Amino acid sequence: MAAVWRNWSGLQRAAPATVFRPVEETGIVAAVREAGVRGWNLRPIGAGHSFTPLCVTDGAQIDLSGHAGIVAVDGGRATVRAGTTIRALGPLLRAKGLNLANQGDIDAQAIAGAVGTGTHGTGIRFGCLSSLVSGFRLVTATGEVVDADAAGDPDLFQAGRVSLGVLGVFSTLTLDCPPAYSLREESRVRPLDAVATEFPEIAAAHDHAEFFWFPMADQVVVKTLDHTGDAPSGGRRRRAVKAMVLENGAIWTMGRLSRLMPGLTAPLCRLSAALGGGGVHVDHAERVFPSPRWVRFNEMEYAVPAEQGMDCIAEIRKWFRRTGTRIYFPIEFRRVAADDIWLSPFHGRDSATIAVHRFAGEDFTAYFEAMAAIFANHRGRPHWGKLHFLKRADLTRLYPEWERFAALRCRLDPKGLFLNDHLRAIFEG
C-alpha cells in the first residue's frame, strides 16, 4: 500500500503511487521521464510546509531532500541544490562569509519550496526570497535541463522564480547573498491604535519590523530586527526555553482554554499580548530570524498594497466587534518590498501581508472566508502556500502577467505533467 504523505498541518494528505528521491540532477531527469512514460502526474515536494494542496497527487512526488548543499560560491552569489533546507543553508553560507538577506518565521522549508511560493519575511527594503534568486537550473517536462537568468531567458526567469512547481523541477538556485551579519532582536507591547499610526515610521526605522495582534486585545506585540556589529548576547538556550514555554506552550494552553471556555478568550488575548514584550537579543542572523512553531495550525495570508495594510486591519477589527467572533490566535502583520516576478504576490507593489490562523483540527472555513472577503476589498493576493479559495478567474484579475505565465506553462508542459487538481483549477479553470 502506498505510504501516506501529509503536509505540516495534517490538512493535506496524499497516497502517491511512487516517490522519486534523486540525489543528482541525472536522477531528476530520469524521474521526470519515467513519470511521463507511466502517465503519472509529478509533483515536486519540499518540506511539506505549504497549507494548500500544492504537493498532493496520486501519481508521483519527487522529493529532493537528498539533493542538498552548496554547489559554488562566486563573490556574493551562492548556487545551492534545490533540496537544501533554509536551516541547513544558514551555517553553510556563514562558512563562506554570507547570509540570506531575509528569512521568514521558520527555517524548515527547502529552498526550492520557499522560492516556489514566494515565501517572505518582513522589511520595507526586502523582497521575498524568490527576489533573491539571480538564476536557476530547471528540469522541464521533457527532461530537458535549462538554465535561466535575467539576461539569457528573461521570460522564463520572471515566471520561474515563483512557479509552484508547474514549470519543471528546480535542480539548483543561485541566490544573491549579503556578507554574513548579526541581528539585534527586540519586542515590545504597544496599543494597536498607536501602532496603526506609528507603524510606517517603525518600519522605516528598522531593517525588519512586524507586529502580532491578538484580535480580542487592544495591544500588539511589535518585533523589530536590526543589523548590528554587536557581539552575540548569549542566552541561546534561555531564548529557546522562552520560545518553547512562553510562546508555543502558552499559545497552546491559552488556545485550548479559550476553546473550552470561550468567555475567557478576550482576557486570554489581553494576557498573551501583555506577556509578549521581551528583552534584547543579539545573534547570527540565521539564528535570530526563525522561531520554533510546535503548535500546529492552518493559515491564510494575503498581501495587500502597503498603503492599505492598516485600513485592512481596521476592517478586520470592525468585523470582530460586529460579529463577536472569538479567536485567540494572533494575526501577523508584515511588510514586503515590490518585485517584478510574474506570479509573486508582491508583483509591482510594496505590500503589507496579513496572516490569520486557526489551530489544526479546528474548522477554519467561516473565519477564513470572512477574512478573504475583507482581503478582496483591498485587492489582496494570496500567499501561494497558504489557504485561499481563489480560482483562475479571480487570479487573472489580480496578476497583470497571469496570461503570460499561463501561456509559458502550456508551452513548457502541454500535457500537464506537473498539474494536480488544485493547480488545474488555478491554471486551466
The residue ranges that bind ligand FAD (CB under 6 A) are 8, 43-50, 54-55, 64, 82, 104-106, 109-110, 112-114, 116-117, 119-120, 164-165, 169-170, 293, 383, 385
Q: Cβ 222 to ligand FAD, closest distance in Å?
A: 17
Cα–Cα distance, 65 to 111 (Å, whole number)? 10
**Cα distances (Å, whole numbers) of residue 207 to 130, 333, 335:** 19, 15, 11
Cell 517584478 -> residue: 340
Write down the least CB distance from residue 299 to ligand FAD, Å: 7
User: In this structure, are strands 60-63 and 42-45 parallel, antiparallel, or unpaired?
Assistant: parallel
Report, in Å, the least distance between residue 77 CB and ligand FAD. 19
Q: How far is the CB of 318 from ligand FAD (least distance, A)?
A: 26
Give the residue with the Cβ less far from ligand FAD, 234 or 292: 292
C-alpha pair distances (Å), 118 with each of 84, 112, 237, 279, 350: 16, 10, 31, 31, 14
**Nearest distance in Å: CB 262, ligand FAD:** 25
User: Minimum Å distance from CB 52 to ligand FAD?
Assistant: 8
Contact 348, 400 (CB under 8 A): yes
Distance of closest approach, residue 261 Cβ to ligand FAD, in angstroms: 26
User: From its phi and psi, is residue 167 left (phi > 0), alpha (psi between -120 and 50) or beta?
Assistant: alpha
Q: Measuring CA to CA, which residue among 219, 159, 161 is closest to residue 187?
A: 219
- Find out whether 61 and 20 touch, Cβ atoms under 8 Å: yes
User: Nearest distance from residue 101's CB to ligand FAD, in Å?
Assistant: 14
Between 144 and 201, CB nearer to ligand FAD: 144
- Of 298, 259, 300, which Cα lies nearest the Cα of 11? 298
* Lateral strand order in the sheet of 18-20: 18-20, 60-63, 42-45
* Distance in Å, CB of 359 to ligand FAD, minimum: 12
Nearer to ligand FAD by C-beta: 103 or 272?
103
CA–CA distances in Å: residue 125 to residues 102, 305, 309, 403, 423: 10, 15, 16, 29, 31
CA dihedral 172, 89, 9, 379 (to 10 degrees): -70
Nearer to ligand FAD, 50 or 219 (CB): 50
Strand partners, 45: 63
- Count of helix runs (H) and strand runs (E) in the chain: 14, 18
Strands 145-149 and 331-336: unpaired
CA 75 to chain centre: 27
Tell me 394's DSSP state.
H
Least distance between ligand FAD and beta carbon 63 (Å): 9
Provide the residue type at 246 as one letter. Answer: L
How many CB atoms neighbour CB 53 within 10 A? 18
Quote the least distance from Cβ 228 to ligand FAD, whole Å. Answer: 22
Closest by CA to 316, choosing from 377, 361, 269, 255, is: 377
